[in-house]
Amino acid sequence: MVFSKKLEQARASFLSRVKAGGIGLIPASQKESHGGAGAYVGDMVYGGLDGIVTTFAIVSGVAGAQLGSSIILILGLANLLADGFSMATGAYLSAKSEREYYDWERQRESKEVENFPESELIELYDIYLEQGYSEQDAKTLVEIKSRNAERLVDAMMVEELNMLPSERKPIYSGMATFVSFIIAGVVPLLAYLIGFFVVIPSDMAFYVSLSLSGLTLFGLGAAKKFVTGLNPFKSGLEMMLVGGLAAAVAYLVGDLLKGIGQ
């Protein structure tokens, strides 16, 4: 009962200030959807997928052009390090921007709670009603949240903006991406690296690379289950087909252009 009166007083006070021109209506914030990939699992899975697809495409292209194992190793390792660093930098900047955006939105929301507490109480109350809570339950929830300013800001970040603080640290996100990119990306090159110690015919090396890459692509695709929740077999098969298609295109281009410069 006391809160009902308080809420009605807040609503009346807010509307009277709007009519008097003291403040303007706060525009509805655009909702942001955060998928919650689970710390660094997403960075590792997608970094690995990108690493093996790009490296295997290079191996396939050079093999199609019949340029030799040494060229495959030079181009493959150069791409592995350069593209891995690029991917890691992108993951770092992405995680950093995500945290900075959350902090900016939270600072803005804190100012709204500080300067327009009545409107925030009303807004949160209306949100709970839209979610299906009864008037009494909505009032109770708002009363609980409003006992502490930080808790009220937390509630507004979640209920109004659908935003949660990211658990990912930018530097760790970049490192996870780089390491997974290198580990998965070196798989297509393993047969050619072993060729330094054991004589392996070029055709055989390519077929070994093809087999290892296919299995790794399937495994990484299945691991996407931890990020997307999709069927692991279907996801693994899909990733294996996509990676195989990219390699086939690269091999075909290499085969068509192998006569250039001769």
Could you list the mean pLDDT of each consecutive 10-residue stretch along the chain, which spans 262 residues? 51 48 42 48 87 92 88 92 93 90 90 87 89 90 87 87 82 92 94 85 87 92 79 90 91 84 50
CA distance 122 to 11: 7
pLDDT score at 113: 86
pLDDT score at 13: 52
How distant is the alpha carbon of residue 133 from its chain centre? 32
Helices (H), the chain: 2-19, 41-65, 69-115, 117-130, 135-145, 149-159, 170-185, 190-194, 202-223, 225-228, 232-257
pLDDT score at 258: 78
pLDDT score at 30: 39
Domain coverage including residue 137: 36-254
pLDDT score at 185: 93
**Cα→Cα distances 215→33, 51, 184, 220, 249, Å:** 33, 14, 11, 9, 19
Structural domain includes residue 30: no
Structural domain includes residue 228: yes
Structural domain includes residue 26: no
**Cα→Cα distances 16→116, 119, 153, Å:** 13, 12, 24
Encode pLDDT of 5-38 as tens digits.
545 555 555 445 444 444 344 444 434 434 444 5
Structural domain includes residue 69: yes
* Torsion angle of the four alpha carbons 227, 105, 120, 112, in this order, in degrees rounded to the nearest 10: 170
Structural domain includes residue 43: yes
pLDDT score at 260: 72
Structural domain includes residue 13: no
Residue 183 carries which side chain, given as an amino acid letter? I
CA distance 182 to 180: 5
Structural domain includes residue 31: no
Total tally of structural domains belonging to the chain: 1
Structural domain includes residue 27: no
Phi-psi region of 28 (alpha: psi -120 to 50; beta: other; left: phi over 0): beta
188, two tokens: 């297509």
